[in-house]
Amino acid sequence: MAVYKFYLGHRELSKAVFEWEAADRTALLAAFMLMEVFSHWLWCLFVWYRRDTYGAYVDINLLYLVWISVSIVGVFLLWMSSRFSPVRSANSNLHIWQALLITIYSVYITFIVAILGHSSLVTGVSLVGGAMLGMMLINRNYVWRAFIGQIIVTLAVSLLPYFGITIPNLRQLTAITLPSSIHSYMTYSDMTIVKNEALTWEGLNHLRQSSSLLWRSTHIYMSLPKAIFIIYMFRILLVSLDDSRQETLQYANQDELTQLKNRRYGLKKMKYALSTVQDNQDFSVMLFDLDWFKRINDNYGHDVGDQVLIEISQTLLQSLSDETIISRYGGEEFLVVLPNTSHDSAMVIAEQLRLSIAQHVINVGDVFDFSVTASFGLYTLTHQERARIVKNYKSILAKKAQSQSSASSLIKPIATQRAESQMAFIQKLPSDICQRLISTADKALYEAKHRGRNQVVSANHMFAEKNGGIHSLYKNR
């Protein structure tokens, strides 16, 4: 895929980063580099065109060398980003071309920074921006090594003048017979002294201001567009990553067919709701499945079965409140969690939901229609039972912590033992409490099946009838 246009929408960029082949991403990076090099080429053209005006501030002879170097690098990058790029050849070694591309670009940017007079603005943007863009598109190891190498070379180039080594640069200020103490505010890289002609303070200040304006404008021109471009690229990349994250979470937490929460996420929400329930609140769990659902698949096909699941799921969403946790537990089985709901209220809700499902008519095109029924198992964890479980569980944890502390007191510091003891009491309920609640509601569901289906059975009533009103999820230990 040759890079002819630059699509900067976040969807197109996300495709480039995540879906394009490595060769296409390399060519795209070369195209982005070409944009920057072309801006440098335009600057050289502008200064050359205005050389009569800017000849006092720019070394024109050196400018020609820079212009030629920029042109050579530009031609190389144009070749790399075109349809004739060697990275597109099936026999080419892509990693070699990637390493060559990032090496040439790093050397080129270091050369530009040095030749402009060591601008910290251009240096910072080039170092950080170029590395960030490169890591998006090509092998990160190559970019990281080039980044470290560029830092070392840039530091060396910046320090060489302090050791008496003069590096040629484009910046110059042609002045004549300078006043004494001029060295106190002008550095070696700001001027070239030409003698045999007088210069007043006013004339010198004018030269300095004009030179400063040119070079500061140059540094802004060299760095600001690149900085804006890099930030924009990362902005739309983050937008695409946010979209991908939302999509990933949706697939991870949502059942694709019914659009309800899936089993894993339903259990997670149930556990959180149970941990935040108030001391005087009951907690109800409802488990139901559709009666004779296998017959529907066998007689009408799985497409009709899927339609049934989808329409029943919509009935659930329309019949229950937003605070209710609804999830597809598996197959034709659904889990409904009712925080802060008493047993009597939960029974009323379950009965209303059973009637809504039974009265709903499934229309299969214009061919036929039918209805389905559901069997419900319900269990309510009362606040008294929950308080008893918490009390027993804390007692068990305390005994375990005491036995472990006596065995490890010679090894662990006292502060560590206290921290572990405190962490043990943060979890108020056993880790399997949710599964116990669902298992209890499941027993009631199977009882509803045994009694003839299409009804609601309370596990609380079941155990009350069998055990004289006594039932507990956990036996006393």
CA distances from 298 to 62, 328, 387, 438 (A): 85, 21, 47, 29
Q: Are residues 364 and 397 in the same domain?
A: yes
- Give residue 477's pLDDT: 39
Question: Does 47 lie in the same domain as 24?
Answer: yes
- Tell me which of 192, 221, 252 is where a domain ends: 252
423, 342 in Cβ contact below 8 A? no
> Is 477 among the domain residues?
no
Residues 109 and 74 in one domain: yes
Q: What is the pTM of this model?
A: 0.55
Cα–Cα distances in angstroms (integers) from residue 336 to residues 16, 253, 340, 449, in the given order: 43, 16, 13, 18
In a domain, 33, yes or no: yes
- Asked if pLDDT for residue 119 goes beyond 90, the answer is no
Q: 42-53, pLDDT tens digit by residue? A: 999 999 998 888
Same domain for 82 and 175? yes
Contact between residue 354 and residue 448 where contact means Cβ atoms under 8 Å apart: no
Region of poorest pLDDT, from 11-20, 235-244, 267-276, 416-425: 416-425
From 3-12, 87-96, 127-136, 163-172, the region with the lowest mean pLDDT: 3-12
Distance CA 319, CA 230 (A): 50
> What's the CATH code of the domain at 385?
3.30.70.270
pLDDT at 174: 54
- Do 213 and 341 fall into the same domain? no
Q: What is the DSSP string of 32-71?
A: HHHHHHHHHHHHHHHHHHTHHHHTTTB-HHHHHHHHHHHH
Domain assignment of residue 452, given as a range: 263-467
348 and 437 together in one domain: yes
Task: Give the pLDDT band of residue 275 (cuts 50, 70, 90).
Answer: confident
Q: What pLDDT is stored for residue 158 in this prediction?
A: 78
Per-residue pLDDT tens over the stretch 196-227: 345 455 555 555 667 777 888 888 888 888 88
The Cα 429–Cα 386 span in angstroms is: 8
405 found inside a domain: yes
At residue 182 the predicted structure's pLDDT band, cuts being 50, 70 and 90, is very low
Q: Is residue 76 part of a domain?
A: yes
For residue 333, is pLDDT > 90?
Answer: yes
Residues 229, 285 within the same domain: no
332 lies in the same domain as 199? no
**SS3 call for 267:** helix
Clarify whether residues 215 and 284 are in a common domain. Answer: no
Question: Are 292 and 207 contained in the same domain?
Answer: no
In a domain, 1, yes or no: no
Q: What is the pLDDT of residue 359?
A: 92
**For the chain, what is the domain count?**
2
Residue 3 lies in a domain: no
Domain end (from 212, 229, 252) = 252
Residue 257 domain-assigned (yes or no): no
- DSSP code, position 458: E
Residue 184 and residue 45 share a domain: yes
Domain end, chosen from 252, 279, 306, is at 252
Shared domain for 230 and 344, answered yes or no, is no
Q: What is the pLDDT of residue 219?
A: 84
Any domain includes 475:
no
